[in-house]
C-alpha cells in the first residue's frame, strides 16, 4: 500500500514540475498554452499512429494464422494418401 502511495506521489510531483516549468519558467515549448508541452503532444500523436498500425498488422497475422490452422489438417490427409483439397490445377493449352 505504501509503495502505491509513493508511486502516485512521484507522478503528481513530476506533473507539478512540468506544469510549473511550462507556466512560469518557459522551460518547455507550449505554443497553444494548454499546459502540455508540445513535445509530449507530438509524441502522443506518434504513439497513437503506431498503435493503429500495430493493430492492423495483428489483424493480418490473426487471419494468416487461421489459414495455417485450416491447412494443417490437410497435411494429415496427405500423409494418409487422400487427394489434395486445394484449388484444381489449370488445364494446359495445347500448342498447334
Q: Could you tell me if residue 46 is inside a domain?
A: yes
Closest of 35, 51, 55, 34 to residue 43, by C-alpha: 51
Task: Convert the pLDDT of each residue in 68-86 to its tens digit.
Answer: 877 777 787 778 888 776 6
Q: Could you tell me if residue 95 is inside a domain?
A: no
Centre a 10 Å sphere on the Cβ of residue 55 and count the other Cβ atoms it contains.
Answer: 9
Q: Could you tell me if residue 36 is inside a domain?
A: yes
Q: Could you tell me if residue 30 is inside a domain?
A: yes
Q: Could you tell me if residue 1 is inside a domain?
A: no
Number of domains in the chain: 1
Task: Convert the pLDDT of each residue in 31-58 to its tens digit.
Answer: 777 767 788 888 999 999 999 999 999 9
Q: Compare 96 and 13 and report the one with higher pLDDT.
A: 13
Q: Could you tell me if residue 18 is inside a domain?
A: no
pLDDT at 40: 84
Parent domain of 65: 23-78
pTM score = 0.48
Amino acid at each position: 500500500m505504501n509503495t502505491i502511495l509513493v508511486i502516485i506521489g512521484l507522478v503528481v510531483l513530476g506533473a507539478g514540475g512540468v506544469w510549473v516549468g511550462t507556466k512560469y519558467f518557459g522551460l518547455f515549448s507550449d505554443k497553444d498554452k494548454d499546459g502540455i508541452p508540445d513535445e509530449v503532444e507530438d509524441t502522443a500523436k506518434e504513439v497513437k499512429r503506431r498503435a493503429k498500425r500495430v493493430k492492423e498488422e495483428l489483424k493480418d497475422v490473426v487471419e494468416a494464422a487461421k489459414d495455417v490452422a485450416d491447412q494443417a489438417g490437410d497435411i494429415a490427409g496427405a500423409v494418409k494418401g487422400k487427394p489434395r483439397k486445394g484449388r484444381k490445377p489449370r488445364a494446359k493449352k495445347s500448342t498447334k
